[in-house]
Every structure is written in C-alpha cells, then in structure tokens.
Amino acid sequence: MKIVTWNVNSLKVRLPQVVNWLEANQPDVLCLQETKLQDEFFPVNDIAALGYQSLFIGQKTFNGVALLSKQSGTDAVTAIPNWEDEQKRVLAATYGDVRVICVYVPNGESVESDKYQYKLKWLTALKEWLGKELQQYPRLAVLGDFNIAPEDRDVHDPELWKDQVLCSEPERNAFRELLSLGLADSFRLFEQPEKSYTWWDYRMLAFRRNRGLRIDHILLSNALAGNCKSCVIDKEPRKLERPSDHTPVVAEIA
C-alpha cells in the first residue's frame, strides 16, 4: 500500500500537477492539504477520470483537506470530534483495514501570536482524538502538514530557527506527545540523506539553496510501522513551473 501526503497550496492551481503525479505514481491514498476549495468546486470528475475517488472537506480561501484513493473509504470523519473548530483541517477514512487520517496542523504565524496558542490547543485536541482512534484502529496512519520540524536535523539553519514558530520547544513537545501515543515518524525508520526537507520558502531562492524544513510527515502505528518498506520525499514536483512550496512524502507499507 502506497500512501502519500502533499500540501498543494491551492488544488485549483495545482490540479494539473496532481493529475500528472497520480498517473505517474499510482498511490493507493493521496492526502492533500490546503486545497483552498469550497466543496462545490472540488474537481471530482478530473480525479475520477484517473480512477480515483475523492473525499474532501473544504472552505473558502484557506485550509481544506482531501483524500484521493483507488478504493472507496468508509467511516469518514471531517473534524476532530467534540472540538469546536471553524477551520477545515482534518479528514479520516478507512481503506481496507487501514485507518488514514489527513491533517493540516495550524501554522501558528509566530510564537507571540494568538494563532500559536490556537496551534498548541489544536495539537492537544488532535492528540486526544488520535489516542481514541488508535484504540479503535490498530492499523493507523496519520499523514499531513504538521507545521513542525521535529528536530534540529530537520532544519537547514537550526540557529536561525531556534525557538521560532515551526521549531519551538512547545511545538516539538506536542509532536513528541503524538509519537508517545504509539506512532512512529516513518521517515526516520530508514537511513535518509542529510538535509532532507519537505518545504522551502518561495523567496530568496530557498529551494535552489536547499534552505528548507521537514514539516510534512507520515506517522504510523506500531502495527503499520513494522511493515513499512520505505518513506521518501519526492522533490521532483518542487522543480516544476508554479510548484507548491511543499513536496509529496511517500510511504510504502507491505
């Protein structure tokens, strides 16, 4: 089973790239973040033409997540249960015996911002929910844009980013709390190239200079992590014209 996460930064703009990527890579489930589409505008037919089904929950202008899959998902959940949130940031569904949860963690803006407090509260709510999901679904994968670089080796310049949003200790603690539920950062199950990142700023030639962060992750429950064969970052789409600022992350599970 091949599962993927990709923050596309507008599915309207990136649809041709997503279509090409799906055709070339044939994942079983592709999790998208920042679709920035209201549900009535979701390109269901373009996706269906490739043999993929769509689940999605979106809103105008911001956020929005989707699951594109070869087989249909069941038991879809479109929000963190019992937690008030205007923003469309999570989508869960079951594919065979694998529970897949797509997340778009709030950015936080800066550690001084109200949005940072919202981010930390959101992560607490996510943890509580994931704990329950793990009990119900031992074969659980949580994929998405976590907007957290877990360790200094996930940051091109740790000194520059020290205590900044995406790298601050409270955020890294929240990430470790998710792992403590019994989830593994699948990327770190394998030997990886140094300076591996999933996001680069559009400005200052950041991609060319590899000034990036690893903030998009695939977390796997123990039952899945033991069968994980690979986890790789696909940098190719970041090289295209009009790329998303994030790259896909791909995990293969036996």
The footprint of DNA (CB under 7 A) covers: 7, 9-10, 12-14, 34, 36, 60-62, 106-107, 109-110, 115, 145, 147, 165-166, 199, 201-204, 213, 215, 242, 245-246
Q: Are 194 and 152 in contact (CB under 8 A)?
A: no
Is 128 among the annotated ligand-binding positions? no
Integer CA distances (angstroms), 25 to 28, 49, 50, 64, 229, in order: 9, 15, 12, 23, 16
Supply angle C-alpha 67, 72, 74, rounded to 5. 85
- The minimum distance between CB 1 and DNA, in angstroms, equals 26
Among 104, 116, 137, 197, the one annotated catalytic: 104
CB-nearer residue toward DNA: 115 or 235: 115
- The minimum distance between CB 202 and DNA, in angstroms, equals 4
CB-nearer residue toward DNA: 95 or 200: 200
**3-state DSSP assignment of residue 106:** coil
Among 145, 154, 185, 216, the one annotated catalytic: 145
Which of 78, 96, 97, 98 minimizes the C-alpha distance to 88? 78
152 catalytic? Reply is no
- The minimum distance between CB 193 and DNA, in angstroms, equals 20
CB-nearer residue toward DNA: 165 or 233: 165
CB-nearer residue toward DNA: 75 or 201: 201
Cβ neighbours of residue 117 closer than 8 Å, sequence gap 6 or more: none
197 catalytic? Reply is no
Tokens read off for 116: 């940072």
> For residue 55, which phi and psi values (nearest 5 degrees)?
-120, 140
Q: Which residues form the catalytic set?
A: 104, 145, 246
